[in-house]
Each structure stands twice: as C-alpha cells, then as structure tokens.
Structure 1
Amino acid sequence: MARNMVSNSVEKKVAEGELTPEKLVEFYRLMYLSRRTDDREIVLKRQQKIFFQISCAGHEALLVAAGMAMRPGYDWFYPYYRDRAICLALGNTVEEQLLQSVGAADDPASGGRQMPSHWSSRKLNIVTSSSSTATQCLHAIGCAEAGRYFARHPEAAAKHAGDYREFKDVKFHGDEVVYVSIGEGSTSQGEFWESLNTASNQKLPVLYVVEDNGYAISTPVEVNTPGGNISRLVANFPNFHFAEIDGTDPIASYKAMVEAVAYCRAGHGPALVHGHVIRPYSHSLSEDERDYRSAEELERDSLRDPISKMQMWLLREGILDADAINKLERRVDEEVQRAADKAVMAKLPAIESITRYVYSEDLSPMDARFATKPAATVDANERTMADLINACLKDEMRRDERIVVFGEDVADASRDEALLAGKIKGKGGVFKLTSGLQTEFGSDRVWNSPLAEANIVGRAIGMAERGLKPVVEIQFFDYIWPAMHQMRNELALIRWRSNNGFSSPLVMRVPIGGYLTGGSIYHSQSGESIFTHTPGVRVVMPSNARDAMGLLRTAIRCDDPVLFLEHKRLYRETYGRAAYPGPDYCIPFGKAEIVRPGKDVTVITYGAVVPRALQAAQKLHREKGIDVELIDLRSLAPYDWEAIAESVRKTNRVIVAHEDMLSWGYGAEIAARIGDELFHDLDAPVRRVAAMDTFVAYQPVLEDAILPQPEDLYRAMEELAAF
C-alpha cells in the first residue's frame, strides 16, 4: 500500500467521505468476507450440512458502507435477510453466522431456532429478525420512539436498567440512530408505508435503506412499484432526507450513508437511502433465477458486481497491488474455512431445549407474588369494570414511568391546548376507559395513534424490545386482524426465536364480544381461540370488575406479552361491580374462580357467559334442586386445568360454554382434554354450549338466537344432570 500513489480524484473522495486508504482496504475486506461466507454456505448446502441459504451477494458495498457509517452497540439495527455484510461490518463474526447456518446449540442469534441470515445480537443492538417482509419497519419506529422517550425521561431509563436483567448493559444516549432495511419488493407492504407516516410525523431518527436489486424473487420491480422507482413515490414525505445512489459503488454508498446518519443523529428527522444493487445469485438456493431472467440480463448485472468493481478500483488507484489483494483474499478464505470447520462440528441443540423461552423464565404471571389480597381502602363504593380498569392504568402509570398508552382515540385530546384550557372535556377512548390519563400524565405518555392497527402493535413491539412498557388499545376486537401479522409472526416469537436474547413484554387491551343489542357483525366478534392457539402470548378475559383490575395489573407487571380481552357488555354491568382493592392488588394467571360451588354438574366458562350461566344455575337450583358448580376461567392461556379436573371428578358431568361459535371454538380444546384425561370420571358426554356457526346479526331477535342465552344454558344443565 502506498499513500502517495492515491490519485487526486481519490483524495477528494476520501476527504468527502472521511475514508482513509486503510479504511478502504477494510471496506473491501468486509465485502469480500461477506461474499465468501455466502459461497461457503452454498457449498455446505450442497453437501447437505446446512438446510437453507439466502445470500447478500451484490448488496455488499451498500451494506458495508452503512455499517461503517454507524455505531455498533450504540445505534440500533433492524436488518433483513440480505444484510450479512452490515452485520459483519458491525462486528458479527463468520463463525457466529455459520453456527446459525448449521443450527448449532451455540448459535448466538437463535440457538438453532432460526434459519440462516436471520440476524440477532444483543451486544451489537441487532434486533432479532423474522422472515416476514416489512414488519420490522414498525419495530424500528417504536425503538426510535423509546430512545427519544428515555432521553426525555432519564428517571424511566434508570428504572428500566435496574429492573430488567437482559437490559442492564443498555445505555441511552439521546442521539441514537435506528437502521432498518428492506428490499424494493417489500416497499409494497402496508407496514412500510405506515412506518413512513409515523417517522415523518414525529421526525424520528430512523435510517431506511432500500436495497433495490430489481427483483422480489421472480417479480420485477416495475410490477411491484408504480414507475419502477420507490424514490419517486416517497419523495413528498416531509422531514425526510432522501438519497438515490448506485449501491454497487462503495464511495458513493459511504458518502450517502454518512450524510443520512448525520441528518438523523442531528435530530432533523428520518432518512431514506435507495441503493440500486444487483442480485448475482438466485433469490435463495431453493430456486433458479435462470427460469425467469435471461442470460443477457445476468451478464449485464455481472458487469456491476461490487466485488469486482472495488477490486479493480483499488488496483487502479494504487491503494493495493495484485499481490496485496491476493494475500488479503487468501486470509479471508482461510478465516471462512476455519469458521466453517468449527460450525459443522458444533454441538446441536438438546431436544429438551425446545420449550425454553416460549415465555419468560424470570417473571411468570403464574408466580405466587401475584397472589395478593384486596386491601381495605377509604372508598368502599362499588365500581364498574370500566372504572377499575381506568383506576388500574392510573395506578400503574404513577408507579412506573416506562408505561405508555396509545391507540385510536385513547387520548383526551390530540390538540391539547383546548383541553388544558378547560374548554373541552376530552375523549379518553370510545368506551372512556383511558379517560383522564393524558390529562394527568401528559402527551409524552398518552397519545392517539393513526387509524392503523398494525402500526399500533408494531410500534409497541419496538418500544417493548427497547425497554418501555406499552399498554396499547385495539379499539374493537373486530378490527384486530390488520395487527394479526405483527402479533403472530413477530410479538409471539421474539423471545423464543432469539433464544431469550430479546423480549417484547407489552399489553394489548381489546374490547371484545357481543350481547350489545345492535352491535352487529363488526362490533360483536369473538375469536379468542385464534390467539390462545398462539404460543408466546398470554390471553386473559375477566368477567367482573375486581378480576379485571387484578389481572390487568399482573399483565402490566409480568414479563410476557399479554392479550387482555375486555368484554364490552360487562364494562358497566351491575353484575360484578366491586370496591377498589388497592394499588397492588394482583391475580395470578392460570387460576380459575369458583363462582358457585356445586355437586351435580360442572359448567366451565368465562367472559359475558359467566353471569348468564350463573343466572341459569340459580334458576335451576330453585326450580329443580340441581346443584351446578360454575367455574370462571378468567385466564385462557394459561388455563387452570387443576380446577377443572377437581370439579369434574366431583360432579362427573361437565358443560363447556363460550360466546364464540361452537365449531373450532375455545371450548373444543377443554372438552377434548377432559375426554382424554378424565374419561373414567365422566357419567355423561361432555356437552358444549356456544354461539351458532355464523356471524352476529344487527336485529336483536336474530342476535338473541345466535348467541348463547341463559335459557340455552339452563336447558343444557338440566338435560346433562338427567343423563
């Protein structure tokens, strides 16, 4: 290497990008290291020593530039599966990456749970990634919001670092940049656009990198993107810094990344760098791009290969000679070979490790610490479920500065000048359950989200990964489905897929259910079985005011994501009112309540069916002398199998009742397990009572016929007792 041989044109580029010759050599080494790691994985796949391969080839210059422009362990990173090169530039090793390829027990990213190229590193702030496209964009937004919040609220940051084992080493600097990358095909996803809206509105320090190789598997960019160019579509978003560059040019890439990072770090807002790169290998080793790309097109791409281009550039500019390049490449080849040799000999995960980290192993919501007694308070007035949920949120927000609340219409007023002046009363949620929160805790902690459910949950995931405790509201269960992708493929899996490297313990409050007289199809839905079928998320559903407060407090204080289902019909019912049980009253998950002891028939239920079943049981006892034991599950995942089994062994007859439709409903699992494990204790078949297999109609006469009523429960109890 000879410093005086560098030409004037290179001197100018070096000065602009702060690149030294040594840094340029390291730039090339990282690019070549990434390419050779891809090549070694391909060999291992063909030898059947690994089971999947997807490459970074053609993206190396853009990604090494991003890695060199940012700060590992300081900034935060939400990469996607093409991002091998930036992870290497940040400090990931080849051995670490190949341990994931073979699915080794010592794979630091996932412990053998994730396929190759699904990056994760607590040390480097590389947040666990999934195979889903564009979901990570919303997580990056939430992460940036959390960083800003902690910078404004150092007392919350101090509590966060002290309370959470896995985050004790995290520092909050106040000027972190959050990197998120996607391919150009992924810009078709709604979550990308939802994230741009929030990044733009809030001027968040998020650096978007769009790696445009022209293809989403076999679909060319012009099919995915109107006009074939995402930069033209996003150009009018305010507060953004934009750059469109040749992503195969390392100097141009580095200069663009340095400028974009500086813009974000200075607090001006988000940036988007659109890099035109190539894909010299197929989408993955599971397909062959020659099926849909011509030889001429592939030849044109090969002429833009960033590895070849930079090698020739280093030679031409006199930064390295051929011998130096050969020595560098041999050292890289040896490094990759050594890493591969170690990886293929690595120990595989133990079978018994499979169920570890589905949930937190440090703070289970079933823990005895959550079994507290109601405290006597000065105010002994009975309150509704809505009142005590509101009181619990206020208690917990006073206790823990990390708790933030957002969703659609949950704030008292987004334009809070009139609120503060006393000119308006404030909204506080469509059911008023968050009323007064913004007034007391301010707009930093309570705010209205856009009308976009994936935005709510996706941002909350990023906040919780970073250490906030979001308690978000989905306005109606009927509209939860846009967030289902975020919940099922991201939230539920974060702890397990990262082998406890990351977690996202947030709370989703969701009004659910019918019996509303006119609620109709889109305000009466149930569907809890879909979510109880998802490992990694706790699901609870109280039927009365005191349980609602106790379970919500446990949900907030535990270390797992919780879906907290609130039955709308029960919010202000006379049934289930209770006095305020104090600011520390909790109920463990997985503990059912015996609402009515009995000896003849067991009825297992939850939610709004509880008061209806109680009404039927009381009537049956008055009229027929039949003694029904009524169990309110309260917690659906986990549920209290011991309470069920004890009751069934006593009564020998059981009904499982729920509001959702009969077929494939939540009760089917309970009924099946009773039949499987308690068959010899039964004197009659297990009976189910539930809604018709249809939707809830608007006309009350139809609604009453569709949903299970007290008379339906009465009839089932009577018939089963007589069996």
Structure 2
Amino acid sequence: QAVRDAQSHILASDETACVFGEDVAFGGVFRSTMGLESEYSRERVFNTPLSEQGLVGFGIGMAAMGHTAIAEVQFADYILPAYDQICNEAAKYNYRSGGQHTAGKLTIRAPCMGVGHGALYHSQSVEQLFVAVPGLKVVIPRSPIQAKGLLLASIRDPNPVIFLEPKILYRSSVEHVPIDDFTLPLSSAEVLTSGDDITLLSWGAPLYSCVEAANLLRNPPASIAKHVPESLRGANVEIIDLRTILPWDRETVTKSVMKTGRCVIVHEAPVTGGAGAEISAHLQSAAFLRLEAPIERIGGWDTPFPHVHETFYKPGSLRIVDALVRSLSY
C-alpha cells in the first residue's frame, strides 16, 4: 500500500508521469499498483510485453523526453536482460551528452530478496550488480514508511534510480504510514540503535534479523547460552540501516566504526563480490587504526538460491550473533 500510495502521489502531481511494466495494469504480482490504471487511465498506467530490456529502454526514452518514467520489473531476478540498457544507456546518458540529455527521470522498481518459496529465480538480491555503475542510485527500504518516503525521493531525484523492494515485507511489515506526500533523504544512513561497542550494518529485510541478533546477544536462550560469553552480553550494538546502497553514506558508517572499533556487515546477497566487500574495503582504509577486530561479513552462501531450506541460506539471527561474538571476542 505504501508503494502504491507513493506512485499515486506522483501520478496526481506530475502529468508527465507514467507507471508501466509486466501486469501493473492488473495491480501487479504484489498489488503495489492496485487501482492505479482505473484512477489515472490506461494511457498512464499500462502493461508492457514480457521484455525487461524493452520496457527499460522504453523508460529511458520517456525520461530523455522529459517524462517521469516509473518502470516495474516484476522480479529483480529478471532485471538482467535489461542490464545493458541500465548500465550502458541510462547510467551514461547524462555523461555521454555532456549534460545536454539525461535519463534521470527514470525509476526502476523491482521486488527482491527471499520470500520463503521463491527458489532460484524469484529470490535473488541484485544490488551488488549495480554498485560499480557510476550514474545510478540504488535504494532498498526496510519498512512501509521507508518505502514510501524513499520511493518518492527516488522518483524525484535527478538520477536514474534502481529501487529494490524486499518482497517479504509486502505482507509481513505493517506500519501507520502518513497519507501525505513526504520524502526521506537518499544516500543518508539511519542509526536505528545507538551503541559504543560494535557496529551492525545492513539494509532491507536482514535488518530484522540484526535486531533479533542484538537481542539474542543480550539475552541468549538456554539453547545457545553456552556460546555467548556472559562478559559480552552487555555489549552495546549500534545498528545502522544503510538505505541507499549507491552512493552510500560513508560518513555515518565510518563515524560509527571509528567509535566502536568493530563492524559486522549483513546482506542477503552472496558474500563474495557483495556490496559488503566494497564497504569493508573503505572501512579498512578509513578506520584502520581504530579497528579492534577484522570486519565481519555475513550473507548468502556462494551458491544459487536454494529450492528448499531457504532459512539456512539467508543470514539469520544465529549466524549474526556468531559474528558479533567473534568480533567482540577478538
């Protein structure tokens, strides 16, 4: 509903805005465009052929003509056919024309991350595929309020934005979202819980596992109590939601790690080549003399997303607690 409302605000206030993608006229797979076609007409909210390359290319053309283009890729897993259009056209259009032309009014929405039964082709996290592409912004919200505010900011940003929506939150996350039009700042991380002993950094759905892990560290159940030394249970964990993955908020994260001396980075994408590797490399350089322990990265395993036992693949609270204990014990 929050995502739907954000798009409705744009359609109501910007007569050049269009929403399009696979099945969006019917409300979309996750109902995030429900009723928009009947409210704003089929000329402004419409289905496209099953061609991600085609619909993104169409969006680039619309944006280049000065229209606000909101394109939906039905699942983030399917964004790869559009990779050339995104990276070689949308991201570079402003640069190649010396600022004369831009595709900055293009926003690409795509559901991402595991949902419990999506298996190989409906569960992937793809943010790491775009972190090395200058000219793009990549945003991942953690909740309905964040989704609405960040999506509105993304659509109005003068750069093309990849807006990835953790699909498990469509049905499991509930908040009282303001009905008014509002934005939240891009490239600005949010400190959810202040702490002095260790920094726990994540984005999207894994943040909930991070919060649970911090609670388990403080009050471990009997089943894991022997693995959590009592001397570490009083540790103050600073939890940070990165929110924008590209360009990310280096200042807030670095300031936190300079204070705590320890850092655990959590993401659902595989660890190898993940966004956490770039963040870790920066922190090793910017905060090297303040580090009390090696930076820990917890993510998906280096395998395709599994058909079964999804919970063993995703970075759950127990794996995060283990990383917290390793870092605090170093």
User: Residue 230 of structure 2 aligns with which residue?
Assistant: none
The residue that corresponds to 2:324 in the other structure is 717
- Match for 1:711: what amino acid? L
In the TM superposition, 1:69-218 aligns within 5 A as none
Distance 1:402 1:460 in 2: 12
* Residue pairs, 1:481-500, within 5 angstroms: 481-500=80-99
- Other-structure match for 2:46: 447
| Cα deviation, residue 573, structure 1 | 1.6
Cα drift, residue 580 of structure 1: 2.4
Residue identity opposite 1:644 in structure 2: V
TM-score (norm 2): 0.94
Secondary structure in structure 2 of the residue aligned to 1:659: strand
Task: Give the structure 2 partner of residue 388 of structure 1.
Answer: 2
Cα distance in 2 for partners of 1:527, 1:438 equals: 29
1:511 is the counterpart of 2:90: no
C-alpha displacement of 1:584: 2.7
Cα distance between partner residues in 1 of 2:299 and 2:155: 31
Instruction: Check whether the contact 2:6–2:181 (CA below 8 A) recurs between aligned residues.
Output: no
From 9, 13, 16, give the equivalent of 1:402. 16
Helix, strand or coil at the partner of 1:571: helix
Determine the C-alpha separation between the residues in 1 that align with 2:266 and 2:82.
28
Q: Distance in 2 between matches of 1:600 and 1:580?
A: 33
Tell me: CA distance 1:512–1:675, structure 2 relative to 1, closer, same or farther (3 Å).
Answer: same
From 178, 196, 200, the equivalent of 1:581 is: 178
How far, CA to CA, are the matches of 1:403 and 1:611 in structure 2? 34
Residue in 1 aligned with 2:267?
658
What's 1:599 paired with? 196
State the match for 1:645 in structure 2. 254
Tell me the amino acid that sits aligned with residue 511 of structure 1: P
The correspondence for 1:543, drawn from 117, 142, 158, is 142
Write the distance in 2 (CA, Å) between the matches of 1:687 and 1:638: 21
Distance 1:686 1:443 in 2: 50
Code of the aligned partner of 1:627: N
Letter in 1 for 2:25: A
Match of 1:478 in 2: 77
Tell me how far apart the structure 2 counterparts of residues 532 and 548 of structure 1 sit (CA, whole Å).
20
What secondary structure is seen at the aligned counterpart in 2 of 1:696? coil
Asked if residue 430 in structure 1 is aligned to residue 29 in structure 2, the reply is yes
Contact 2:203 2:267 in 1 (8 A): yes
**Shift >3 Å, 4+ stretches:** none
How far apart, CA to CA, are the structure 2 residues paired with 1:519 and 1:578? Answer: 25
- Structure 2 partner of 1:706: 313
CA deviation map 1:479-501 (0-9, x unaligned): 11111111111111000010001
Distance 2:22 2:96 in 1: 30
- TM-score, normalization: structure 1? 0.43
**2:176 is aligned with what amino acid?**
A
SS at match of 1:529: helix
Q: Which residue of 1 aligns with 2:126?
A: 527
Instruction: Tell whether the 8 Å contact from 1:517 to 1:698 is kept in structure 2 after alignment.
Output: no
C-alpha offsets along residues 455-489 of structure 1, whole Å, 9 cap, x if unaligned? 10001111111111010100001111111111111
What CA distance in whole angstroms lies between the structure 1 residues aligned with 2:85 and 2:145?
A: 31
* Cα RMSD for the two superposed structures: 1.1
Query: One-letter code of the match for 1:405?
Result: V
Equivalent-residue separation in structure 2 for 1:614 and 1:600 (angstroms) = 15
1:718, distance to aligned residue in structure 2 (A): 1.6
Q: For residues 64 and 274 of structure 2, what CA distance do their matches in structure 1 show?
A: 32
8 Å contact from structure 1 (residues 599, 627) kept in 2: yes
Query: Percent sequence identity over matched residues?
Result: 38
The equivalent residue for 2:208 is: 611
Alignment of 1:466 with 2:65, yes or no, is: yes
Contact 1:525 1:696 in 2 (8 A): yes
2:243 matched to which residue of 1?
634
- SS of 1:509's equivalent in the other structure is strand
Q: Which structure has greater strand proportion? A: 2
Q: Write out aligned runs for 1:238-277 (5 A).
A: none
| 1:374-398 residue CA offsets vs partner (Å, 9 max, x unmatched) | xxxxxxxxxxxxx111111111111
User: Aligned equivalents of 1:392 and 1:685: distance in 2?
Assistant: 41
* 3-state SS in 2 of match to 1:578: coil
Structure 1 match to 2:225: none
Report the Cα offset of residue 709 of structure 1.
Answer: 0.8
The aligned residue for residue 678 of structure 1 is 287
Deviations 1:527-547 (A, max 9, x none): 211112111111100111111
Cross-structure match for 1:27: none
Pairwise CA distance, 1:582 = 4.1
Q: How many residues align structurally?
A: 317
More helix by share: 1
Q: How far is the alpha carbon of 1:597 from its aligned partner?
A: 1.2
**Alpha-carbon shift at residue 599 of structure 1 (Å):** 1.4
User: Helix, strand or coil for the counterpart of 1:411?
Assistant: helix
CA contact (8 A) 1:457 1:472 kept: yes
Answer yes or no: is 1:568 the counterpart of 2:182.
Answer: no
Q: Which residue of 2 aligns with 1:246?
A: none
1:393 is matched by which residue type in structure 2?
Q
Contact 1:406 1:448 in 2 (8 A): yes
**Residue 517 of structure 1: CA displacement?**
2.1
AA aligned opposite 2:112: I
Asked if 2 retains the 8 angstrom alpha-carbon contact of 1:596 and 1:628, the reply is yes
Structure 1, residues 383-426: CA drift from partner, whole Å, max 9, x if none?
xxxx11111111111111111000000003xxxxxxxxxxxxxx
AA partner of residue 431 (structure 1): F
After TM superposition, give the deviation of residue 440 of structure 1 in Å: 0.2
1:581, distance to aligned residue in structure 2 (A): 2.3
| Partner Cα separation in structure 2 for residue 595 and residue 569 of structure 1 | 20
Distance 1:500 1:637 in 2: 21
Distance 1:605 1:477 in 2: 19
| Aligned amino acid, residue 406 of structure 1 | F
Match in the other structure for 1:622: 219
Return 492-501 or 578-587, whichever deviates more: 578-587
Rounded Cα–Cα distance in structure 2 between residues aligned with 1:518 and 1:511: 14
